[in-house]
């Protein structure tokens, strides 16, 4: 229709319902309404938006959590979805807090251009890797916690128990405790500690097997998703899987090496004042991706000759190890970006110093 108005929408996401708000092309509020988080509710939401005019874009808060499915639903129906950050505390104090207010704020952020991020599609092999890595990560965390509990119990155990386990490595300790056959009465502290240690050791073994099974599943998926990435020096299935997760199934949403470095928290940040001109470490971005870059850098500093030569030269210039790592991370991020799937670039070759 010739008189159809342009509509920009915002959605404040929740577990059981989403709050949607619509504004026109000059920011005037049109309407707000709640919709249930079901396929029928998503269709009702889209029909409701289109009833107000031509939908230009929809800003969604929480596309990586409660808003993941509605973002997928709208994207598959060729609706432009924009990722909106949660309002900061000052905006909350000034404007108040309610679901309609947050929905209108999301729509306004899209219209003004303050929000322009492309959400992850979450509909491909990287999403499958993410789901499997969630389980693996929790198993690793639980195994670490179990080992800490074992060592704490040993420290406070009676000497008859503690002395037999003194000096054992982690593997020897788990093997010894698993094969033990405690006898006695549960009201005896020494016997109770032996029983507890045996159960914790068995839990540790079960978690180790779970992690091995996860690695067997995740490794081939990561290699299949990004074979060129896994082939890079210092990059293994674990670090590659995390970097793929951070980029998402649609890494083309990251338009440059700089945007990927910013995502990973490895882009240098100005920290100059007066006559002092310097940069500092970027504390923002995806910290898990930053940790993956850190791991890759440490591996290369040990095993990659090109990186070792760079470290030697910079150390001779008086640079600390921390500063060298800070310099290496952007180089590694640039190289990683060029080897992400579906990414093409015409940038200049990497310097031979990293």
Residue length of the chain: 354
- What contacts 306, CB < 8 A, 6 or more positions away? 300, 352, 353, 354
Residues 238 and 149 in one domain: no
Q: What angle do CA 38, 44, 50 make, to 5 degrees?
A: 140
Residues 207 and 231 in one domain: no
Count of other CB atoms within 10 angstroms of residue 309: 12
Residues 277 and 176 in one domain: no
Residue 179's SS3 state is helix
Say what the pTM is: 0.83
What pLDDT score was predicted for residue 40? 97
Q: What is the CATH number of the domain that holds 102?
A: 3.30.420.40
User: What's the token pair of residue 120?
Assistant: 């992850």
Given 170, 198, 225, which residue is the final one in a domain?
225
CA dist., res. 257 & res. 245, Å (int): 17
Given 112, 138, 160, which residue is the final one in a domain?
112
In a domain, 353, yes or no: no
In a domain, 120, yes or no: no
Residues 141 and 105 in one domain: no
Q: Are strands 81-84 and 54-61 parallel, antiparallel or unpaired?
A: parallel
Residues 221 and 231 in one domain: no
In a domain, 234, yes or no: yes
Residues 192 and 276 in one domain: no
Residues 215 and 233 in one domain: no
Given 79, 112, 145, which residue is the final one in a domain?
112
Query: What's the domain range around 165?
Result: 125-225
Tell me how far apart the terminal alpha carbons of the chain are, to the nearest angstrom. 58
In a domain, 354, yes or no: no
Residues 26 and 84 in one domain: yes
User: What's the token pair of residue 54?
Assistant: 């031509």
Residues 282 and 245 in one domain: yes
In a domain, 346, yes or no: no
In a domain, 349, yes or no: no
Residues 156 and 242 in one domain: no
The sheet that has 6-13: what strands, in order across it?
29-36, 17-24, 6-13, 54-61, 81-84
Give Cα separations from 242 to 23, 118, 218, 253, 331 (angstroms).
38, 19, 11, 17, 18
Residues 55 and 101 in one domain: yes
- What contacts 289, CB < 8 A, 6 or more positions away? 242, 243, 245, 246, 263, 264, 265
Nearest to 110 by CA among 49, 66, 37, 33: 49
- Report how many domains make up the chain: 3
In a domain, 348, yes or no: no
Q: What is the mean pLDDT of each run of 10 residues along the chain (354 residues)?
A: 80 95 93 96 97 94 92 95 78 71 93 90 93 96 97 93 91 95 91 96 97 96 96 95 95 90 85 69 85 96 95 94 91 94 53 44
| The CA-based dihedral angle spanning residues 292, 296, 299, 305, taken in that order and rounded to the nearest 10 degrees | -170
In a domain, 119, yes or no: no
Residues 100 and 26 in one domain: yes
């Amino acid at each position: 229709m010739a008189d159809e108005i342009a509509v920009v929408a915002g959605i404040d996401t929740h577990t059981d319902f989403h709050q949607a708000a619509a504004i026109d092309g000059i920011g005037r509020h049109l309407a707000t309404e709640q919709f249930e988080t079901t396929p029928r509710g998503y269709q009702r939401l889209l029909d409701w938006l289109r009833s107000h005019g031509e939908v230009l874009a929809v800003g969604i808060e929480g596309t990586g959590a409660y808003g993941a499915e509605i973002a997928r639903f709208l994207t598959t129906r060729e609706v432009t979805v924009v990722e909106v950050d949660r309002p900061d505390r000052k905006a909350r104090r000034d404007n108040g807090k309610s679901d309609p207010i947050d929905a209108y704020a999301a729509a306004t952020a899209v219209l003004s251009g303050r929000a322009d991020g492309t959400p992850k599609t979450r509909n491909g092999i990287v999403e499958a890797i993410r789901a499997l890595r969630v389980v693996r990560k929790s198993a690793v965390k639980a195994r670490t916690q179990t080992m800490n509990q074992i060592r704490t119990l040993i420290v406070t155990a009676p000497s008859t128990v503690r002395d037999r386990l003194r000096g054992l490595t982690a593997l020897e300790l788990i093997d010894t405790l698993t094969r033990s056959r405690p006898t006695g009465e549960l009201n005896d502290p020494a016997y109770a500690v032996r029983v507890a240690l045996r159960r914790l050791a068995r839990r540790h073994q079960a978690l180790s097997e779970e992690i091995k099974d996860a690695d067997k599943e995740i490794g081939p998926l990561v290699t299949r998703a990004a074979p060129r990435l896994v082939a890079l020096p210092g990059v293994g299935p674990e670090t590659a899987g995390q970097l793929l997760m951070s980029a998402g199934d649609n890494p083309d949403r990251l338009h440059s090496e700089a945007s990927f470095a910013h995502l990973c928290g490895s882009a240098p940040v100005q920290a100059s004042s007066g006559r002092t001109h310097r940069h500092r470490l970027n504390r923002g971005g995806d910290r898990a991706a930053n940790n993956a870059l850190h791991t890759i850098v440490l591996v290369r500093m040990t095993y990659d000759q090109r990186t070792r030569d760079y470290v030697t030269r910079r150390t001779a210039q008086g640079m600390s190890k921390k500063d060298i790592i800070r310099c290496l991370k952007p180089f590694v991020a640039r190289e990683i970006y060029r080897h992400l799937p579906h990414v093409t670039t015409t940038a200049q070759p990497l310097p031979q110093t990293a």
